[in-house]
């Protein structure tokens, strides 16, 4: 048999994976199946976006992890024998992907940025390597081919692209008892803002001397109508900002109209996270900072002197 299977925890992630999944299914002429929690949207939306089959996961008890579905999913995939299984590279998705690949005894390519079938039908994927300094092409020889794809790598398939289109829906029976149960939950500090959708991002780096000085960056972001982000040392080492504001290989990917780095050195792991930025500007007192090699505009100077002047000028221009 042939076909493409997609697994994601949320509707928006499913629609994103339907974009590459639909292209692969159309090329090979196979069925496009998605697996999603029962609460995540109307199956009609998925059919209109190109899916042929929707497999719903019934709700789990609050103390049961998503991993409880692994035996059931592995059995379903073995029976269907799809060509490929695509999963969203969220923290849970990556865990499920690794454990599922082990059960299916197949290979897994993680964090893929593109995937396409070559001349002989082999699925070839591309992902970043060496901290983003190189692009690696990977082919999994086992079956099914498994790949995780980071959120926002592909645009979401239109949920009403083919109105009235129909498909089959089925709900999987409750999974067997899981050996892993949640005994407690502790809320992790997160910012309410979503910098991945921001048109302007002001990013602070290790050039910032004190936590209190974040206010300077916030004032500039507010003047520009944007959001504040940071490099890895600011969030993971100093804990001045939440992890979901960290931009880079181990953080989020941003695609703003304007990226403005304040005291950002520009290591490759950080630059990987802003490849999609339309205009990159940087303020750094080190003329040899790597950020200037990636920047479209650069100011060599002390951010404590430059930033207040930028705020003043922006306010003049914007009235």
The string of pLDDT tens digits covering residues 67-93 is 888 999 999 999 999 999 999 998 889
Closest to 225 in 3D by CA, of 263, 248, 258, 247: 258
Q: How far apart are CA 203 and CA 297, in angstroms?
A: 15
| Domain extent for 251 | 195-318
Domain count, the chain: 2
Q: Give domain status of residue 180, yes or no.
A: no
Cite the beta strand spans of 130-163 per DSSP E. 134-139, 145-149
Considering the domain architecture, whether residues 144 and 238 belong to the same structural domain is answered as no
**Class of residue 309 by CB neighbours under 10 A (exposed 0-12, middle 13-18, buried 19+):** exposed
Tell me: do 159 and 200 sit in the same domain. Answer: no
Same domain, 148 and 93: yes
Adjacent-strand bridge partners of 87? 7, 148
Tell me the per-residue pLDDT of 239-296, one tens digit each, with 9 for 90 and over: 999 988 999 987 888 989 999 999 999 998 899 889 889 999 999 999 999 999 999 9
Last residue of a domain, one of 172, 207, 242: 172
For residue 83, being part of any structural domain is answered with: yes
| Dihedral of the alpha carbons of 71, 74, 79, 84, in degrees to the nearest 10 | 170
Is-above-0.85 flag for pTM? no
Instruction: State whether 99 and 224 are in the same domain.
Output: no
- One domain, residues 20 and 145: yes
Residues 142 and 66 in one domain: yes
Same domain? For 13 and 138 the reply is: yes
């Amino acid at each position: 048999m042939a076909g493409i299977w997609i697994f994601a925890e949320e509707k928006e992630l499913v629609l994103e994976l339907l974009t590459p999944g639909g292209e692969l299914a159309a090329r090979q002429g196979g069925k496009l199946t998605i697996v999603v929690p029962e609460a995540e949207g109307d199956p009609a939306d998925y059919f209109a976006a190109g899916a042929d089959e929707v497999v719903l996961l019934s709700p789990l008890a609050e103390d049961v992890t998503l991993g409880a579905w692994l035996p059931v999913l592995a059995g379903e995939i073995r029976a269907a024998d799809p060509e490929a299984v695509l999963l969203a590279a969220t923290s849970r998705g990556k865990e499920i992907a690794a454990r599922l690949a082990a059960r299916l005894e197949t290979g897994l390519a993680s964090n893929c940025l593109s995937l396409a079938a070559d001349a002989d039908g082999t699925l070839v994927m591309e992902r970043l390597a060496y901290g983003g300094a190189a692009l690696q092409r990977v082919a999994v020889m086992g079956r099914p081919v498994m790949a995780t794809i980071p959120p926002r790598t592909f645009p979401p398939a239109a949920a009403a692209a083919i109105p009235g289109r129909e498909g089959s829906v089925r709900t999987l029976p409750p999974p067997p008892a899981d050996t892993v149960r949640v005994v407690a939950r502790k809320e992790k500090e997160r910012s309410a803002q979503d910098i991945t959708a921001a048109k302007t991002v002001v990013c602070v780096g290790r050039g910032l001397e004190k936590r209190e000085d974040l206010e300077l960056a916030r004032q500039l972001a507010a003047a520009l109508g944007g959001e504040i982000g940071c490099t890895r040392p600011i969030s993971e080492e100093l804990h001045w900002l939440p992890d979901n504001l960290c931009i880079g290989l181990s953080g989020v990917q941003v695609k703003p109209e304007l990226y403005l780095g304040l005291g950002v050195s520009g290591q490759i792991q950080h630059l990987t996270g802003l490849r999609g930025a339309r205009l990159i500007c940087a303020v750094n007192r080190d003329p040899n900072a790597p950020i200037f090699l990636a920047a479209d505009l650069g100011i060599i100077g002390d951010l404590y002197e430059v930033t207040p002047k930028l705020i003043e000028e922006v306010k003049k221009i914007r009235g």
